[in-house]
């Protein structure tokens, strides 16, 4: 019995930890949204999450090389939107262009990289909630 209780306590602790991390992440993401100028292209912070994805050119997003610049490339944030009714389903648009990556200050480049990672962290929660809601309907079909 104690083992089940310990597992429940551990799970509860993880869930509350994720919720705190998510809240902190959203607060910091909102700050960076303005700091790096995304607010000039996207009317409201909430609109960010309507994009299918946001990507980065000019710097690595791989965990082993996170933030490393790609010489000769341009630091740019790209948003991918999807319209199932359009003839061309997916569309890339620039949310921010900062010029040659080697000319961008390291601290600023790091904030841009952080923005992408924080966006993806929140987007993963939104996706998780979406699929959780979809699965709820399956258990009720047989009733």
Structure tokens at 142: 């047989």
Could you tell me the pTM of the whole model?
0.83
pLDDT value at residue 137: 78
DSSP letter for each residue of 62-127: SGGGTT-B-TT-EEEEEEEEE-TTSSS-EEEEEEEEEEEGGGS-HHHHHHHHHHHHHHHHHHHHHH
Which H or E element spans position 11?
helix 2-35
- Tell me how far apart the alpha carbons of residues 5 and 8 are, in angstroms, rounded to a whole number: 5
Taking only the tens place, the pLDDT of each residue in 120-131 is 999 999 988 888
In the sheet with 90-100, reading across from the earlier edge strand, the strands are 53-57, 74-82, 90-100
- Tell me how far apart the alpha carbons of residues 121 and 118 are, in angstroms, rounded to a whole number: 5
Structure tokens at 46: 């909430």
pLDDT value at residue 113: 97
The residues, any chain, with a CB within 8 Å of residue 52's CB and separated by 6 or more, are 80, 81, 82, 90
> C-alpha distances in angstroms, 118 versus 23, 90, 136?
11, 23, 28
Taking only the tens place, the pLDDT of each residue in 69-120 is 999 999 999 999 887 777 777 888 999 999 999 999 999 999 999 999 999 9
């Amino acid at each position: 019995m104690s083992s089940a209780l310990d597992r429940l306590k551990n799970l509860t602790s993880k869930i509350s930890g994720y919720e705190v991390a998510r809240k902190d992440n959203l607060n910091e993401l909102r700050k960076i949204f303005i700091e790096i100028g995304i607010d000039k292209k996207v009317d409201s912070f909430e609109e960010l999450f309507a994009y299918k994805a946001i990507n980065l050119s000019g710097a690595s997003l791989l965990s082993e090389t996170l933030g490393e610049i790609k010489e000769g490339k341009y630091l740019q944030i790209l948003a991918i939107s999807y319209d199932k009714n359009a003839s061309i389903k997916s569309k890339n648009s620039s949310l921010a262009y900062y010029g040659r990556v080697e000319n961008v200050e390291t601290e600023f480049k790091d904030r841009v990289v952080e923005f992408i990672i924080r966006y993806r962290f929140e987007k993963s929660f939104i996706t998780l909630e979406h699929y959780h809601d979809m699965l709820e309907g399956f258990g009720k079909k047989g009733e």
